[in-house]
Amino acid sequence: MIKIAKATVLNLHINGEYREVLVKPSDTLLYTLRNLLGLTGAKPGCENGDCGACTVLIDNRPIKSCLILTVETIGKRILTIEGLKDVPIQKSFVENWGFQCGYCTSGFLMVCHSLAQIHPNANDHTIEEWLQSNLCRCTGYEEIENAIKSILTGTVRT
């Protein structure tokens, strides 16, 4: 077991790169990403785990980065929106008008991307279970539903 009692330089694996960063034991991953690494794609919306705007993937699973300490991610693979390069869900969100203000979008994209990797044939129930973790205040969710379904089935639902 690693014990970290004070600010320590960690070597984190983020978006396929190793990044050295000075981390205090109390720092959340959201804080480290945004304030120390300039990865501002993950957004603070509640810092209480309720809105999902800060969602990132840790070892391919969605995690709300406001609810995990950076020190807990040692040795794990962290993927943020900045590390998503031309994956199908991005194009699908664009083409399905899956956002308006865009503030919740990074979080939704990370959940959707992970869902598509883990459950490529997810049914409605599974989709709902996964996407209820996040909040969008602008859309009526129909656009987001169309976006995720279009990559799961391979066709755009109109």
Q: Which residues bind another protein (CB under 8 A)?
A: 26, 31, 34-35, 38-48, 50-51, 53, 80-82, 84, 90-91, 93-95, 97, 99-106, 109, 127-128, 131-132, 134-145
What residues contact 24, with CB distance under 8 A and at least 6 apart? 6, 7
Minimum CB separation of residue 29 from another protein in Å reads: 15
One-letter amino acid at 84 equals L
Minimum CB separation of residue 45 from another protein in Å reads: 5
Minimum CB separation of residue 114 from another protein in Å reads: 15
**Which backbone phi and psi does 103 adopt, to 5 degrees?**
-70, -35
Nearest-CA neighbor of 147 among 123, 101, 113, 121? Answer: 113
Which residue, 43 or 68, is less far from another protein as judged by CB? 43
For every residue of 6-55, DSSP letters joined together read S-EEEEEEETTEEEEEEE-TT-BHHHIIIIIT--TTS--S-SSSSS-TTE
Minimum CB separation of residue 32 from another protein in Å reads: 12
Which residue, 1 or 67, is less far from another protein as judged by CB? 67
Which residue, 68 or 144, is less far from another protein as judged by CB? 144
